[in-house]
Amino acid sequence: MPIATVNPATGETLRTYDALSPEAVEEKLSLASRTFDTYRTSTFFDRARLLQQAADLLEADAPDIARVMTTEMGKPVAAARAEATKCAKTMRWYARNAQELLADEHPSDDDVKDSGAARALVRYRPLGVVLAVMPWNFPLWQVIRFAAPALMAGNVGLLKHASNVPQTALYLEDLFRRAGFPEGCFQTLLIGSGAVEGVLRDERVAAATLTGSEPAGRSVAATAGDEVKKTVLELGGSDPYVVMPSADVAKAARTAVTARVQNNGQSCIAAKRFIVQEEAFEEFRDAFVAGMRALSVGDPLDEATDVGPLASEQGRTDLEELVDDAVESGATVLCGGQRPKDFADRGWFYEPTVLADVTPEMRIHREETFGPVATLYRVADLDEAIAVANDTPFGLSSNLWTGEEADIDRFVRDSQAGGVFVNGMTASHPALPFGGAKRSGYGRELAGHGIKEFCNITTVWVGA
């Protein structure tokens, strides 16, 4: 795949980039290693000051970098500005909280006295150079939620971004440089996916984090495992959205539209499978379909647009194949199901779509739909709803709408996912850990859990 900005609203190639030569990659690896040797001893105060400066710059740059993101991967420009603002908020959160999150831990004297220690403690120390392999769908947010905690912990970062967002990738390197971080603290590697293994195997790289597809996660995890290096993986999701009759069904339907089409439907944590108890089914179905039909599909740089194009032609083809397979196997198209007629001759647009009568034999029941396509299920009760919700190889997040506390307790107990969101849609927040179960990956980002993923958790024992 070429390293290029291709506008998904038009299909036009705007800029292309040469991949870094092996010699240039070596220079960046060497610089990262040298920088870590000194940066790891910097103080939390100094790191926080630099991260705050980066947040200020990002906030000021938000209108401009938002247009770059939209041009590179197609998200509505208002959502792109919100993404930049969220990144600045997260950087400030880690600048404020990292020192406390990584403070030394002291077991009680009674707990360690039989070890012969005069004192003992646990200290969190940085691992070193961390390689981040990141996707295009949230080209700022996915990087910042790794970079902010990693840098505050004293690590340095190497970014291998998706090949279709090179301008955003280069902007991120420049952002940290302008903020005053030492040269080499955060560098972008413009390389193809085939060059990732060599970088990951380099002895100067201590660990890796990847957000992306399951095949990409398997590849990085296998290489890292062979080298005995720590990894954090956030992979796909096919999140269930369960609605019970005790819920505010009208609100659940309104929220469901946003939950499905956020980021043009290209989000791992977007709700994808809508599982509704039969007493609430018709009310939810009618409101949900009406909401999906009312969405404005168009130019993502237009402030009035709700849904822009998919990020790539192949992404749209993959989505069409899932829908076609379902329809051929008996699924009912309640709305959408085709390319918008207004954009038949340009861009990679697809109509917001709702499919009913989905069965386990259909590919769409088991595979992730990365675009504005929802599947709708009617179930008899909460038992059946949980069974359908868990009938997926993924386990990133889940949603439940109910007015019953017993339903909440049961769903939290039995949901096979890394997150449970009740009476609201799934969202990530710097103070809450984020990650999945099953084939959605392992490890956690954000919160205290995320900053500790790339630390050497060190036992310190001092004899009497």
Angle CA(181)–CA(186)–CA(190) in degrees, nearest 5?
Answer: 145
- Residue pair 199/210 in contact (Cβ under 8 Å)? The answer is no
Question: Which of 305, 314, 252 minimizes the C-alpha distance to 80?
Answer: 305
For residue 308, how far is the Cα from the chain centroid? 19
How many other CB atoms sit within 10 Å of the CB of residue 177? 16
Pull the structure tokens for residue 194. Answer: 């085939």
Task: List strand residue ranges (DSSP E) for 8-155, in order.
Answer: 12-17, 117-126, 129-133
Q: How far apart are CA 32 and CA 29, in angstroms?
A: 5
Range 194-201, long-range pairs (CB < 8 A, 24+ positions): 195/19, 195/25, 195/160, 196/131, 196/133, 196/160, 196/220, 196/223, 197/223, 198/25, 199/25, 199/29, 199/131, 199/158, 199/160, 200/131, 200/224, 200/227, 200/229, 201/226, 201/227
SS3 content of the chain, % helix, strand, coil (to 5): 45, 20, 35
Is-catalytic flag, 268?
yes
Question: Which of 225, 175, 171, 215 minimizes the C-alpha distance to 193?
Answer: 215
Task: List strand residue ranges (DSSP E) for 315-397, in order.
Answer: 332-335, 353-356, 373-379, 394-395
Ramachandran region, residue 116 (left: φ > 0; alpha: ψ -120 to 50; beta: rest) = left
Question: Which of 376, 359, 394, 381 minimizes the C-alpha distance to 275?
Answer: 376
379, β-bridge pairs = 277
How many other CB atoms sit within 10 Å of the CB of residue 335? 18
Range 197-203, long-range pairs (CB < 8 A, 24+ positions): 197/223, 198/25, 199/25, 199/29, 199/131, 199/158, 199/160, 200/131, 200/224, 200/227, 200/229, 201/226, 201/227, 202/29
Catalytic residue among 185, 268, 335, 455: 268
Pull the structure tokens for residue 267. Answer: 């989000």
Catalytic residue among 72, 173, 234, 367: 234
Active site residues: 234, 268
